[in-house]
């Protein structure tokens, strides 16, 4: 059984290295954009489009997050790179769109992940919600399971 597990781990590593070539970062998923929401209310069923561009390879990664009228959401956008740029952050309510939502679009971010906390009331009026954006240096994003 132990040999089967070692073979499976070896095969998985070989597959990952073929998809994500070895580079300075030990984490093939690169930096992350972490989004947490704690909303009091959500009007309609908005959709948040986030487009991340890996500046090392040119890979463009679109992420679509749907708000389902719940107060708490947790999402991750993987960059697969140490350096990336958020090229679009648009919140769409039917035919109305808020461009550069949370002011995430901008220059190249290198060696840092981004954390976004969204609070308030999510409506087509951007003044009813607040975005708290912070950057932190790390190439790892630990995901811990629930404790007992």
- Cα–chain-centroid distance for residue 87? 13
- The region that residue 94 occupies, defined by phi over 0 for left and psi between -120 and 50 for alpha, beta otherwise, is left
Per CATH, the number for 22-137 is 2.60.40
pLDDT tens, 59-108? 999 999 999 767 789 999 999 988 999 999 999 998 999 999 999 998 99
Confirm if 29 and 78 have CB atoms less than 8 A apart: yes
Sign for the pseudo-dihedral over CA of 140, 141, 146, 147: positive
Domain boundaries, the chain: 22-137
pLDDT tens, 22-52? 444 456 788 999 999 999 999 889 999 999 9
C-alpha span between 27 and 141 (Å, rounded): 9
pTM score of the predicted model: 0.74
């Amino acid at each position: 059984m132990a040999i089967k597990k070692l073979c499976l781990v070896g095969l998985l590593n070989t597959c990952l290295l073929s998809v994500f070539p070895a580079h300075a970062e030990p984490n093939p998923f690169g930096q992350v954009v972490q989004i947490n929401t704690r909303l009091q209310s959500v009007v309609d069923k908005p959709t948040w489009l986030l487009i991340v561009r890996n500046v090392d390879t040119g890979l463009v990664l679109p992420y679509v997050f749907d708000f389902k009228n719940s107060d708490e959401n947790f999402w991750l956008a993987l960059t697969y790179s140490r350096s990336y740029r958020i090229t679009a952050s648009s919140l769409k309510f039917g035919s109305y769109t808020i461009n550069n939502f949370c002011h995430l679009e901008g220059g190249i971010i290198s060696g840092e992940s981004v954390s976004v906390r969204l609070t308030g009331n999510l409506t087509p009026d951007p003044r009813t919600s607040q975005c708290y954006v912070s950057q932190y240096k790390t190439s790892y994003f630990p995901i811990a399971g629930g404790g007992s």
